[in-house]
A and B are shown apart, each in its own frame.
Chain A
Amino acid sequence: MKGKITVNDQVIDWRAGMTVSDVLTVMNYTFKLLVIQIDGRNIKRDDWPTATVPEGADVKVIHLMSGG
């Protein structure tokens, strides 16, 4: 998808060099505990500020709630 990525099934604008942290800011995801996958590959929390999101990527952001 030219110039776009999909985040939790929502299509948003993409820009070159966009990081995982940038995506969280754009989506206004401020919840503390998240798991993030890009095209089925898990991105560790430590890598969020530097991991870039490729154009057309499918990004899944899972919110983790306590209870078990």
Chain B
Amino acid sequence: MIFARNVPGMTEVLKRATVGIAGCGGLGSNAAMLLTRAGIGRLVLVDFDKVEESNLNRQHFFQSDLGVPKTTALAAHLRAIDPTVRLDLHETMLSRETAAATFAECDILIEAFDRAESKEWLIEAWCANHPDRPIVCASGIGGYGRSEMMTVRRAGNIHMIGDGLSDMMMGLCAARVMLAAALQANKAIELLMQKSGKGG
């Protein structure tokens, strides 16, 4: 019983839910891992890239994954946690035109891109096509420490995680990136519970 220690009522809700993950890097791979441990039913994973050595400082991959498509490698790790999790894998580069359709069946989208320019068009495309569905984003996750500056803010259907200031040019540290990914996963769980009528 993987989920025997879950919060009562949570597993039933999450098992019926679908969450999209746009980008399987530092944010996306860790958020996907956390949602799988929480008992999510289905994930739609999208990333065009392959695992590189420089990813291993913060992303949920291992030496044995080097050269493997991120979606494929991540799927193996998620199934090693919960063999029943449903995974839709898209090894492709998302665009403003394809994003909404790719995640059409998702209750919630987690924005887990690296570049701010991509974050902007993804949020625009999601809000234009699914204005009533939440998108959980991250902005300002660079550097280390300053945990107290990590906030969760809301603007309409956008839920924004991060300090809103720090940039990747400061360098990226696993502890702070995973902190943001954990806040994204936690927010997604909270929203799914609220939608089900069981959450606070």
Which residues of A are interface residues toward B (Cβ below 8 A)? Answer: 33-35, 37, 39-42, 44-45, 60, 62-68
Which residues of B are interface residues toward A (Cβ below 8 A)? Answer: 23, 25-28, 112-117, 119-120, 123-124, 127-128, 131, 138-142, 153, 155-158, 160, 162, 164-169, 172, 177
| Total A-B pairs, Cβ < 8 A | 89
Q: Contact: A62 with B164, CB < 8 Å?
A: yes
With A33-B120, A42-B128, A45-B124 in contact, do A65 and B157 touch (Cβ < 8 Å)?
no
In the complex, A41 Cα to B28 Cα: how many Å?
A: 26
Q: Contact: A33 with B157, CB < 8 Å?
A: no
Among B127, B128, B155, the one with the most A-chain Cβ atoms within 10 Å of its Cβ is: B155
In the complex, A34 Cα to B168 Cα: how many Å?
A: 17
Q: Contact: A67 with B166, CB < 8 Å?
A: yes
Q: Contact: B156 with A65, CB < 8 Å?
A: no
Q: Contact: A64 with B155, CB < 8 Å?
A: no
Q: Contact: A62 with B160, CB < 8 Å?
A: yes
Chain B residues with CB under 8 A of A66: 114-116, 119, 167-169
Interface SS of B by simple majority:
mixed
In the complex, A35 Cα to B135 Cα: how many Å?
A: 13
With A65-B162, A68-B114 in contact, do A44 and B25 touch (Cβ < 8 Å)?
no
In the complex, A37 Cα to B131 Cα: how many Å?
A: 11
Chain B residues with CB under 8 A of A60: 155-156, 158
Closest residue to B154 on the A side, CB-wise? Answer: A60
Would you mind naming 11 contact pairs between A and B with Cβ atoms under 8 Å apart?
A33-B117, A35-B124, A37-B158, A40-B155, A41-B156, A42-B158, A67-B26, A68-B25, A68-B26, A68-B113, A68-B168
